[in-house]
């Protein structure tokens, strides 16, 4: 992936969390202002560190990388139907209050800069996911649940939330069984995805603050996708689909 992106003229910065021995747990050690034995509140302590510029260097460096990038690719193996702990801990720590959440006004027409607005506005993000299981296990009626629903909390709740435009994921199934021909095919397909990062249509999630949702209940308005519920209602029909 790095080679392909560089060949296309991109600059690439890599955060290899295992190689970096990334600290996975958001805890009181993240905040120099907490007195020993004092109460730890991840929300208010996070905000205080952001405002005072006293975040830990590892967290601040990752935030700077995010601000520098125009596109962010998250690559991970699916473990227990979501990302490994080390990557979840990257989210928990780098997504500080006052940076990725808790930003923007809260009023009766605007409930924070989130779900389509926020610090990552104008940037794109994409997941590259490997699984041990088969594609059928993750299909619409597969026992694991549909892949798009398993990824929804990441796509919508982690990436769209602070403003990323989210591209469809690239998923490799039965990764342990990939042989040389399969590897070539994956390299080609994924390469195509990397070549088209800026022409691929993002997932059309519905923005929060532009009329689709009642505020502050944050429920989809009755006249939109009437009678439907679940993750799918938060994605608008594609332009070439008929209204549902």
User: Would strands 213-214 and 170-172 be described as parallel, antiparallel, or unpaired?
Assistant: unpaired
Cβ count near 174 (within 10 Å): 14
Q: Which stretch binds a copy of itself (CB under 8 A): 17-25, 49-57, 68-76, 190-198?
A: 17-25
220 is a contact residue toward a copy of itself (CB under 8 A): yes
Quick check: bond before 216 cis, omega within 30? yes
Least Cβ distance, residue 62 to a copy of itself (angstroms): 14
Residue whose token pair is 């979501």: 82
**How big is the site for a copy of itself, counted in residues (CB under 8 A)?**
57
Shortest CB 93 distance to a copy of itself, Å: 8
CB of 178 to a copy of itself, least distance (A): 14
- Select from 60, 202, 16 the least CA-distant residue to 121: 202
Query: Which residue number, 52 or 140, has a Cβ lying nearer to a copy of itself?
Result: 140
Give me the 153-192 binding string for a copy of itself, x by CB under 8 A, dash otherwise.
xx-xxx-----------------x----------------
- Binding segment (CB under 8 A) for a copy of itself, from list 54-62, 117-125, 150-158, 194-202: 150-158
Closest contact distance (angstroms) between CB of 144 and a copy of itself is 7
Measuring CA to CA, which residue among 67, 165, 176, 41 is closest to residue 115? 165
Which H or E run contains 42? helix 42-52
Cα gap 125→220, rounded to integer Å: 24
Residue 233 touches a copy of itself, criterion: CB under 8 A: yes
Six-digit token string for 133: 């299981």
In 3D space, the residue among 206, 207, 211, 201 whose CA is nearest the CA of residue 236 turns out to be 206
CA–centroid distance for 128 within its chain: 11
In the complex with a copy of itself, the residue whose CB is nearer, 75 or 144, is 144
Q: Which stretches of the chain bind a copy of itself, using CB under 8 A?
A: 18, 22, 24-27, 42-43, 79-86, 88-89, 91-92, 95, 115, 132, 134, 136-137, 139-146, 149-150, 152-154, 156-158, 176, 208, 213, 216-220, 228-234
């Amino acid at each position: 992936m790095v080679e392909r992106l560089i060949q296309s003229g991109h600059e690439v910065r890599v955060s290899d969390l295992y190689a970096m021995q990334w600290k996975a747990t958001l805890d009181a050690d993240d905040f120099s202002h907490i007195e020993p034995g004092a109460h730890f509140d991840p929300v208010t302590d996070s905000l205080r560190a952001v405002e005072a510029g006293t975040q830990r260097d590892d967290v601040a460096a990752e935030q700077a990388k995010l601000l520098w990038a125009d596109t962010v690719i998250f690559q991970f193996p699916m473990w227990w139907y979501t990302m490994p702990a080390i990557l979840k801990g990257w989210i928990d720590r780098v997504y500080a209050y006052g940076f990725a959440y808790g930003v923007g006004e809260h009023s009766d027409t605007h409930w924070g800069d989130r779900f389509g607005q926020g610090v990552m506005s104008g940037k794109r993000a994409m997941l590259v996911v490997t699984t041990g299981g088969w594609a059928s296990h993750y299909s619409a009626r597969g026992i694991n649940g549909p892949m798009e629903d398993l990824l929804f909390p990441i796509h919508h709740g982690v990436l769209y939330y602070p403003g990323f435009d989210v591209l469809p994921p690239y998923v490799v199934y039965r990764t342990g069984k990939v042989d040389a021909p399969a590897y070539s095919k994956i390299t080609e397909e994924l390469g195509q995805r990397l070549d088209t990062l800026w022409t691929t249509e993002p997932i059309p999630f519905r923005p929060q603050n532009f009329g689709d949702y009642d505020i502050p209940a944050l429920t989809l308005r009755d006249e939109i996708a009437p009678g439907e519920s679940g993750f799918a209602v938060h994605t608008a029909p594609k332009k070439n689909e008929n209204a549902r």
